[in-house]
Chains A and B, each alone.
Chain A
Amino acid sequence: MGDPSQVHINNKGVAENTYDAIVVGSGISGGWAAKELCEKGLKTLLLERGRNVEHIKDYTTASMHPWEFEHRLEITEKDRAENPVQCQAYDEGSKHFYVSDQEHPYIQSNPFNWIRGYQVGGRSLVWGRQTYRLSDLDFEANAKDGFGTDWPIRYKDIAPWYDYVETFVGISGQAEGIPHLPDSVFLPPMEMNCVEKHFKASIKKHFTDRTVIHGRVANLSRGWNGRGPCQYRNLCDRGCPFGGYFSSNAATIPVAAATGNLTLRPHAIVYEIIHDPTTGKASGVRIIDELTKKTTDYFARIIFMNASTVATASILLQSVSKRFPNGFGNDSGQVGLNLMDHHMGAGATGRYDGFTDQYYSGRRPTGIYIPRFRNIDEQTKRSDFIRGYGYQADGERREWRDTMLANDDFGESYKQSLAATGPWSMWMGAWGECLPNPDNRISLEKEKKDKWGLPLVNIHFQYGNNEAAMRKDAQQSAAEMLQAAGFTNVQPFDYHTTAGTAVHEMGTARMGKDPKTSVLNSHNQVHDAKNVFITDGSCMPSGGCQNPSLTYMALTARACNFAVEELKKNNL
């Protein structure tokens, strides 16, 4: 309309909405991006699609006793009907940290559990906290067997960044010197109980290729950086009022905020990265306010995408421009492809009849770990599958919940038997690598919209023969290890777990050496828009079998450092 005052207002709007950096998503990697960029002096806008969750204050169930929950932490019929996916991950104490399936629908071309937590802190509030480094066995895997494309980095590139993030996070564990599961910077480990120690000694005696180590976990065995120590309540997924484990809320966001450089904007659903045809880069992002549905543009010199694997890929696919008609940074056509999870739920259980006079006190929030022992070298090479799996395991005594239906007794003798401590048992389950496969992918359903008018995500995902063969081996190997250690009633199991249940979604915007076959370069920059960095799980060219969050954190810190160097050189 040519009204000069309106132009003025617009200009002011742009200025007010302009930052040095924008971080999309406040989960485990986004929290790190915010911390690093703020500490390096960048005015940083942290966008989160859900509500704010303040450390301690908003952990509303953290101090509740079991009897204070109406349903005693059980999942209700209503949960199963209304939140059929999320209720597989939550209980009555953590439900408020998971989305509503009804409010946040998606399409499952094949069954896939897309577990989400839309709030400040994201799923860092409820994660499993197991932390293991990748090694060159993982970084070289694609190049060696030809599945997926080669990682553009090797262990030496990320090793100092593992050191760097671990020094801040605080990881309990023990150095073992295992080449393919490199040691972290450790706090003291959380001890093994007597049956686990026995198991470790037995495995050492009977197997030359296997070892049992302490679970490596981002729970603090001693006070660290003003947080913790862990109080051994094992109620982590309610949020920890003691800051006993690492989350964005407890650790990275407070540090970012203390710099004075952080602006946190909850309720901001990013739906598009804005492409500027004059610079050839991204100028900012568009958001819809979750509550008012009002749209706003925010601008910055660099953008970090940390919305989580599936969400980041869907934002890229939604960001259609003249330059990127198939989605932002998607010249390769690879955005959305190669979705991976870890397959889990295959292993064995057994009972141990010794140590009847031994027990434990406190509730340790981790267990033991058996690092991968398949396809490490020529001696351990398998003919039936490539790559491998590690076991998480746990020795414990049977208690009332495990024994209540063991017999048909009732009355006073039954009541006494509940208080009696049952036999020791061990549970061991494999977390296994899933091969990158372009058929496992997400796409957008343009005809089907959510309540904000955004297209629904469709997930296409199936495990293949390699994963099936690995699961078979994981059951047999677990059973033979338990038997060798003198366990009885050894029962292999396969839960036939729905894909996605490990909540380790990876891939969909992979790093690579060649822009024709990958989305990101070795510094997590979008090949064709270098001021956009993607450092959540979507960047992973392969998944290893290790719990992946630690790697996202290290890649994020590394990319932030690179981004700021590039800004200083005026390369961005």
Chain B
Amino acid sequence: MNRRKAILSFFLVGGGATAGFSGYKWYNIHKTPDILYLENSKELVAGLAETILPASVTAGAKAAMAHITVITLIKDVADRKTKNIFIDGLKDVEAYTDAHYNKSFVTLQPAQQKAVVTHFRDQGKNYSGILGKIKNKFIGKSFFHVLKEYTTIAFCTSKPGATQALAYDYIPGKYVACTPMVPGQKSWATK
């Protein structure tokens, strides 16, 4: 097997467990995902992704079109459980901002958006230790973690993300095994 794939599989821990959970929670995770809602939420996903990885001296998630990729990845790559966590999370975000600000997320000020994402992050905090592992396995990651993970993948594999925020070398041509870090050195976008 490809060495790199062998190494990667260690870091990407798969889900796929089925166990005796029942009732509403089980249904909620395994229901048919509301893909239409997801597809109609481009602005919302863009706003959330930009909150995770904002524009600075380099392009942010929105300019990198990370939200379009996040939607594609949630639709095609994520398992059903993760799809539902993400889509339900989007709905929860809208409900929360409506209740607390009487506005939709995308019309909030950046500081308010940050406060909303902070709320969802804290709400989704995992139990520590074995309880957290069990929760992760059967219920899945929190909405915040799914948002952060997919936004990061989408951004770091985008052209602006890879070439501006990170260091990207298309055809290195040579291998330098040990080289001193230089000021402002960025980490490599690809392995």
B 176-191 contacts with A by CB, 8 A: 176-181, 185-191
Knowing A77-B79, A412-B54, say if A128 contacts B3 (CB, 8 Å): yes
Knowing A232-B172, A361-B172, A410-B148, say if A72 contacts B69 (CB, 8 Å): yes
B 132-186 contacts with A by CB, 8 A: 144-145, 148-149, 152-154, 156-159, 162, 165-166, 169-181, 185-186
Q: Which residue of B lies closest to A396 (CB)?
A: B191
Contact A397 B175 (CB under 8 A): no
Contact A364 B187 (CB under 8 A): no
How distant is A38 from chain B, measured CB to nearest CB, in Å? Answer: 30
Among B7, B54, B172, B181, the residue within 8 A (CB) of A362 is B172
The size bracket of the interface on B is 35 or more
Q: In whole angstroms, what is the CA distance A191 to B176 when docked?
A: 8
Interface residue? B51 (CB, 8 A): yes
Q: Mark A355-377, 1 if CB is under 8 A from B, else 0.
A: 01111111110110000000000
Knowing A67-B159, A72-B69, say if A408 contacts B125 (CB, 8 Å): yes
How distant is B161 from chain A, measured CB to nearest CB, in Å? Answer: 8
Interface residue? B100 (CB, 8 A): no
How distant is B64 from chain A, measured CB to nearest CB, in Å? Answer: 9
Contacts of A408 in B (CB 8 A): 121, 125, 144
Q: Mark B62-105, 1 if CB is under 8 A from A, else 0.
A: 00000001001100111110000000000000000000000000
Contacts of B157 in A (CB 8 A): 66-67, 69, 72-73
Contact B177 A74 (CB under 8 A): no
Q: Which residue of B lies closest to A236 (CB)?
A: B2
Q: Which residue of A lies closest to B9 (CB)?
A: A495
Interface residue? A234 (CB, 8 A): yes
Contact B159 A414 (CB under 8 A): no
Contacts of A67 in B (CB 8 A): 157-159, 162
Knowing A67-B162, A71-B73, A231-B173, say if A359 contacts B185 (CB, 8 Å): yes
Q: In whole angstroms, what is the CA distance A78 to B5 when docked?
A: 19
Contacts of A8 in B (CB 8 A): none
Knowing A232-B175, A361-B169, A420-B187, say if A405 contacts B149 (CB, 8 Å): yes
Q: In whole angstroms, what is the CA distance A53 to B9 when docked?
A: 28
Among B53, B154, B186, the residue within 8 A (CB) of A72 is B154
Among B1, B175, B186, the residue within 8 A (CB) of A364 is B175
Contacts of A257 in B (CB 8 A): none
**What is the size, in residues, of chain A's interface with B at 8 Å between Cβ atoms?**
75
Among A72, A233, A345, A360, the residue within 8 A (CB) of B73 is A72
How distant is A137 from chain B, measured CB to nearest CB, in Å? Answer: 24
Contacts of A151 in B (CB 8 A): none
How distant is A181 from chain B, measured CB to nearest CB, in Å? Answer: 18
Knowing A67-B157, A73-B157, A399-B191, say if A361 contacts B175 (CB, 8 Å): yes
Q: Which of A67, A192, A392, A503 has the most CB of B within 10 A?
A: A67
Interface residue? B44 (CB, 8 A): no
Interface residue? B21 (CB, 8 A): no
Interface residue? B24 (CB, 8 A): no
Q: In whole angstroms, what is the CA distance A66 to B189 when docked?
A: 10
Interface residue? B18 (CB, 8 A): no
Contacts of A358 in B (CB 8 A): 178-181
Q: In whole angstroms, what is the CA distance A234 to B121 when docked?
A: 36
Interface residue? A386 (CB, 8 A): no
Q: In whole angstroms, what is the CA distance A284 to B100 when docked?
A: 80
How distant is B131 from chain A, measured CB to nearest CB, in Å? Answer: 17
Contact A501 B1 (CB under 8 A): yes
Contacts of A263 in B (CB 8 A): none
Q: Mark B1-24, 1 if CB is under 8 A from A, else 0.
A: 111111101110000000000000
Q: Which of A88, A400, A416 has the most CB of B within 10 A?
A: A400
Contact A349 B169 (CB under 8 A): no
Contacts of A76 in B (CB 8 A): 76-77
Contact A359 B181 (CB under 8 A): yes
Contact A411 B51 (CB under 8 A): yes
Q: In whole angstroms, what is the CA distance A421 to B187 when docked?
A: 5
Interface residue? A75 (CB, 8 A): yes
Contact A401 B121 (CB under 8 A): no
Among A73, A394, A421, A422, the residue within 8 A (CB) of B3 is A394
Interface residue? B56 (CB, 8 A): yes
A 332-361 contacts with B by CB, 8 A: 344-345, 349, 356-361
Q: In whole angstroms, what is the CA distance A115 to B172 when docked?
A: 30
Cβ contacts A to B, 5 pairs, < 8 Å: A70-B72, A192-B177, A234-B191, A421-B186, A495-B9
> Which 9 pairs from chain A and chain B are nearest by CB?
A362-B175, A191-B177, A362-B172, A66-B157, A72-B157, A421-B187, A232-B172, A404-B152, A419-B186
Give B contacts to A, CB under 8 Å.
Answer: 1-7, 9-11, 51-54, 56, 58, 60, 69, 72-73, 76-80, 114, 117, 121, 125, 144-145, 148-149, 152-154, 156-159, 162, 165-166, 169-181, 185-191
